[in-house]
């Protein structure tokens, strides 16, 4: 069965630094990969989608890379701020609209 | 744009009763909606795919007679937890597929069964 691992359960980063989160998967490569932000007691918020034929996607301070050889996606937040503190989820899609979510990384930006 | 609402945001019910949760896409039409449940400190687990005008598709291990899904229109899907028990207590979240596989999630419904 498909396994998705996000690098660590919790990550602490100093304000202003770049936070890098990792999403690794096994078995089949997805048609696309998505990153979401989830705050406690709230539903996930869509951030970025990257397709299998794309290497990199950017949106403001966010950058996502997708390496199908390594079976890995990296999610970067540059110039991190305390407001970026949340749980970040990666999700794999295989072209049928269904998503399979990773367990998430709880990111804390320390002022 | 791409706002999804859920109602209620939280509900407490007694064991054996049924609870209905509504999911609405407010500013777009969604032929497909999804229902997830999430336990504390765990990831989202897909329960079922809700298709407008047809029967829902349930994931393996999800009882379709217990979790009734109705997708009555392009902007509304409902999840009814029938004969709820304490083990059904969880955070239920819906999402709607707008386009290009981007899913937009509702704020979630916290269900507590006493």
Burial A7-16 (b: 16+ CB within 10 A, else e): eeeebebeee
Residues of A in contact with B44 (CB under 8 A): 44, 89, 101
Q: Can you give chain A as a three-state secondary structure string?
A: CCCEEECCCEEEEECCCCEEEEEEECCCCCCEEEEEEECCCCCCEEEEEEECCCCEEEECCEEEEEECCCCEEEEEECCCCHHHCEEEEEEEECCCCCEEECCCEEEEEEC
Q: What DSSP string runs through B28-66?
A: S--SEEEEEEE-TTS--EEEEEEETTS--EEPTT--TTT
Identify the pLDDT of residue B58: 95
pLDDT tens per residue, chain B (114 residues)?
Answer: 689 999 999 999 999 999 999 999 999 988 899 999 998 888 899 999 988 888 899 999 999 999 999 988 889 999 999 999 999 999 999 999 887 778 899 999 999 999
Identify the pLDDT of residue B92: 97
* A21-71 pLDDT tens trace: 999 998 888 889 999 999 999 999 999 999 999 999 999 999 999 999 999
Q: Taking a C-beta distance cutoff of 8 angstroms, is the pair A6, A107 a contact?
A: no
Q: Rounded to an integer, what is the distance from CA A53 to the centroid of its chain? A: 17
Identify the pLDDT of residue A108: 97
Q: A89 is written with which tokens?
A: 């989820």
Q: Taking a C-beta distance cutoff of 8 angstroms, is the pair A102, A89 a contact?
A: yes
Q: Which of A 48-107 lie inside 8 A of B, CB atoms?
A: 49, 89, 93, 97-104
- Contact at CB, A34 and B43, closer than 8 angstroms: no
- Percent of chain A past pLDDT 70, that is, above it, reads 99
**Mutate which of B44, B60, B91 to test chain A, going by most A C-beta atoms within 10 A?**
B44
Q: A40 is written with which tokens?
A: 């406690």
| Phi, psi for residue B105 in degrees, rounded to 5 | -100, 150
Q: Taking a C-beta distance cutoff of 8 angstroms, is the pair A85, A40 a contact?
A: no
Residue B92 contacts A where some CB pair is shorter than 8 Å: no
Identify the pLDDT of residue B8: 97
- Contact at CB, A89 and B103, closer than 8 angstroms: no
Mean pLDDT is lowest, of A6-20, A45-59, A90-104, B52-66, for: A90-104
Nearest CA in chain A to B37: A43
* Mean pLDDT within A11-21: 96
């Amino acid at each position: 069965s498909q396994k998705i691992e996000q690098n660590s359960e919790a990550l602490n980063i100093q304000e202003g630094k770049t936070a890098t989160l990792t999403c690794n998967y096994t078995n089949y490569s997805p048609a696309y990969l998505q990153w979401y932000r989830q705050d406690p007691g709230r539903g996930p918020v869509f951030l970025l989608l990257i397709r299998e034929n794309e290497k990199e996607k950017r949106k403001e301070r966010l950058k996502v890379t997708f390496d199908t050889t390594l079976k890995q996606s990296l999610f970067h937040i540059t110039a991190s701020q305390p407001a970026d503190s949340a749980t970040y989820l990666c999700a794999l899609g295989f072209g049928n609209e269904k998503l399979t979510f990773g367990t998430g990384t709880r990111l804390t930006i320390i002022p | 744009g791409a706002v999804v609402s859920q109602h209620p945001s939280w509900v407490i019910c007694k064991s054996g009763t049924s609870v209905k949760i509504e999911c609405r896409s407010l500013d777009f039409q969604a032929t497909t909606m999804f229902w997830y449940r999430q336990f504390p400190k765990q990831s989202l687990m897909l329960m079922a795919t809700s298709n407008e005008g047809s029967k829902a598709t349930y994931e393996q291990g999800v009882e379709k007679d217990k979790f009734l899904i109705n997708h009555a229109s392009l902007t509304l899907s409902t999840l009814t937890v029938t004969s709820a028990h304490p083990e059904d207590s969880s955070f239920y979240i819906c999402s709607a597929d707008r386009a290009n596989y981007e899913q937009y999630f509702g704020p979630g419904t916290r269900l507590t069964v006493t």
